[in-house]
Chains A and B, each alone.
Chain A
Amino acid sequence: MIELLSRFLMSWEGMILWYFLAVNSFYAFLMLLSMPELWRNWKMAHSENLNRYMSSEALPPVSVLMPAYNMSAGLVDSVRAQLSLRYPRHEVIVINDGSKDATMTLLHAAFNLYEVPPAVSKQLRTQRVRGYLRSRHEPGLLVIDKENGGKADALNAGINAARYPLVVAVDADTILETDAILRLARTFLVGTPVIAAGGTIRVVNGCDVERARVLRPRVSRRFLSGVQVPEYLRAFLFGRLGWNRLGGNLIVSGAFGLFQRKYLLEIGGYQTDNVVEDMDLVVRLHRHMLEKGEEYRVAFVPDPVAWTEVPSDIATLKRQRERWHRGLVKTMLSHRKLMFNPRYGRVGMISYPFFFFGEMLAPVIEVSGYFFTFVGLLLGWLNWQFALAFLAVAVGYQMMLSVWAVVLEEATFRVYGSLADFSRMLLFALLEPFGYRQLTVIWRVQGVINALRGRKQWGEMQRRGFGAAADRPVTTN
């Protein structure tokens, strides 16, 4: 019996090793693919004269959707910042998703709102809208006051009310660079027909912020928020760029994504029962376009930047990562028809299987690897040199990917100017595999378990706001 168990353990360890090699080789492949893509984008961004587009009416007008739930801290500044974005023609739609705090009162006071009749074509079903309000001095602003239905429901209400052919979904706690939409929308001027485009999300914690504008990008001194800087860089600068090249980008971040409204209406908008509505939306868009047989592209553009507040305490980070993974599992399971289905092209044959095996199952396999290694070592079935070497390769690989993301950042955009910030970013990239990674893996496993149990809650998120409001925690859904 013991012999059998020992054999099982050894073969499981071997399997994990091969799995690890396969997944990481694919990441290395994505990394290679991202290099020409990043360079091409950087070169275009670098040599472009954005003023030329600003003075042109060629760029399609954009509706900026800002769902807000209990976001009173910094919301007014955020709305003002969105209204002053550099773009030829845009409107801002704030959707108050049944906030229990002073969100509506603040908006009323700041923008002198008045109710207008509900003249909106309701093509997507949403929770009851209490009223549509316009500002007496900001003609580009529309506020929708509705009953609570979650972020996806709020976005659907915004899509209904949007007047323009492009919609940008922006979290109310996200800061857009002034030219972010201009840079994102220019993808509609070149290349194949773009139906959705996402930009880079960076970490705002630690940055110098004033009136919802990042004055000076900084890397937080606090470990938990600082370590997410290279993590975000890795996800965006080579993860999504690599997928761009492969043509199977499955994620456009919910915090900052541009979509053609027409297609959002065609697929019935956001799903309200998925806790990561952004990924589910993009997968459904892929399915819809592939089933229709129309040429399309979901693009990731690295130079438009949005800054987002990341969790700075363990409890909030845990809830966020658990929710992300729970949503990933739900999305993967509800679109299992895509798996190795040649009808869905690269999405069915490459992206979906990779996200299923390489992302969804990864934490489960990794945790089982830690567990069996520990048990094997304890019972003397496993050679400790082997375990040590295995650990060194795993940690070394993580480190290499994070440092590589820093290299890409430094070689192109170089957002963090000071040597101190650069050093901190590099240090966090080196420290990430020690402890932080293992914690996130455990939370992701909890996400798998909760998804299988059918849990649907979002969980409370502690937000601290930007700049001066940073010490005042705010709760959002």
Chain B
Amino acid sequence: MSVAVLTALALIQSAFVFLLITTLLMSRWFRPLGSKLARERVDELSRELYRYLSGQIDLEVALDRLDDAKLSTILHALQDVAGHVKGGLWETLVTAARERPWFRIVLSRSGSRFWWRRLDAAHGLSVLARPSDEIRLLRLLGDAHAVVRLATVPSLRRVPSQTLVRAALDLADSGRTPIQHYVVETVSRLPGLNLASLRVRLAGGVDPRETRALLDLAACLGLPDLLPAVLDCLQHPVLEVRIGAVRALSRFPHQKVTKALVLALSDPEWQIRAQAATALGVIGARDAARPLFRLLNDHSWWVRLRSGVALRLIGEPGIQMLEGVRPSYDRFAADMARYVLGLDDGALGEFAGEDVVGYATSIPARVA
């Protein structure tokens, strides 16, 4: 390589560095603290919306403020406020906002070929959607980009149609476990959910991931109509689903449930025994104190821990049993009893709220 080539390279680099520095300085000049100002604008607009919602300014004034802002600012402010406010005044604002030119832009972005524009549409519709947007929402729920799909899920709270719920549950099927949790949690908060379709889906599910997600949904709802389907899942061939079923049962305080859970305490799988113990503790099943006590010397440390926690959760009889454990009975049981008795209420509550195996990522897609 000759000196001339190297010199040319050095000159090109110098010119590029100079160009970069000029761009930086220009950017500082023209975009002074852009992001900070953008946040301030959002806060300002949110304040105006709150003033409208508390009756301090008229609807027209609030709409004018929205019209004057940039689309991204509008969407951020609306989402900020919508998270805290609902009711008639909000719906009046939504009706009027849907007539404004910027809302047409939001709608048109739902069909954009750029994901970030579709994301804007999803954010906009999550606070401004109406039943007439169902087709658009359906399309966004099936979007190729995961972020757009996730951003669309909260729209279900505004348009709780069965078609959309089905689409959301399909999304839960295809997603990873945290996505399933997110979708299921949103769906569980929907008013007027069609339980019949959920029961059928739960009973006939062949995809363990879907069944697990639906069990979470059933647990969130805790409706007695769903109990038989959840109990049936205790016989599912996939361990993860059985764990999910045991976990879901803790939300159904029923005599039948206690019996099923006590039976599960003698399951050959430690995860089931541990989860059943937790569920019995959460329910506060005093009748189960004796079988729980027997698990204090289980060969699995987790089962011992869970049964100890459950004994403390069910109250006086359980605590007395824990206090009565002596090393001469079983050293490990005595150790665990001492540990569980030393836990503070916060730690106990955390143990009780936990999933035994956390967020498993290895649930098979289909039952063999």
Contacts and interface: CB of A to CB of B under 8 A. Distances in A.
Contact of A139 (B342, B350, B358): B350
Contacts of A189: 146, 150, 178-179, 182
Interface stretch (A49-57, A268-276, A359-367, A450-458): A49-57
B342 A117 contact: yes
A191 B347 CA distance: 33
A49 B10 contact: no
Interface string A132-153: 0010100110000000000000
A136 B344 contact: yes
A460 interface: no
Contact of A134 (B28, B302, B344): B344
Contacts of B206: none
Sorting the interface of chain A by its residue count into under 10, 10 to 19, 20 to 34 or 35 or more gives 35 or more
Interface string B267-310: 00000000000000000000000000000000001100100000
A413 B349 CA distance: 39
Interface string A95-136: 000000000000000000010110101000000000000101
A58 B182 contact: yes
A406 interface: yes
B176 A188 contact: yes
B136 interface: no
A406 B23 CA distance: 11
A76 B27 CA distance: 41
Nearest to B27: A410
Contact of A393 (B6, B154, B301): B6
A470 interface: no
A404 B33 CA distance: 19
B3 interface: yes
A44 B343 CA distance: 41
B55 interface: no
A136 B178 CA distance: 32
A43 interface: yes
A56 B179 CA distance: 11
A403 B21 CA distance: 7
A407 B17 CA distance: 11
B33 A119 contact: no
A47 B75 CA distance: 9
Interface stretch (B191-199, B225-233, B333-341): B333-341
Nearest to A187: B178
Contacts of A134: 342-344, 347
A121 B361 CA distance: 21
B327 interface: no
B185 A414 contact: no
A410 B344 contact: no
A11 B289 CA distance: 83
Contacts of A261: 358
Q: Is the interface of B mostly helix, strand, loop or mixed?
A: helix
B80 to A, nearest CB: 8
B6 A386 contact: yes
A393 B35 contact: no
Looking at A89, A190, A406, the one whose CB has the most chain B CB atoms below 10 A away is A190
A399 interface: yes
B17 A393 contact: no
B328 interface: no
B218 to A, nearest CB: 15
Nearest to B13: A396
B6 A399 contact: no
A47 B350 CA distance: 32
Given A117-B339, A261-B358, 20 more contacts: A14-B1, A49-B76, A57-B181, A57-B185, A60-B358, A119-B336, A139-B345, A139-B346, A163-B350, A188-B178, A189-B178, A189-B179, A193-B176, A262-B361, A389-B7, A389-B10, A393-B9, A399-B17, A407-B23, A426-B24
Interface of B: 1, 3, 6-7, 9-10, 13-14, 16-17, 20-21, 23-24, 27-28, 33-36, 72, 75-76, 79-80, 83, 116, 119-120, 123, 146-147, 150, 154, 176, 178-179, 181-182, 185-186, 301-302, 305, 335-336, 338-339, 342-347, 349-351, 353-354, 358-359, 361
16 contacts: A49-B80, A56-B185, A58-B178, A61-B354, A165-B359, A189-B182, A190-B150, A262-B358, A389-B3, A389-B10, A392-B6, A392-B10, A393-B13, A396-B17, A407-B24, A417-B33
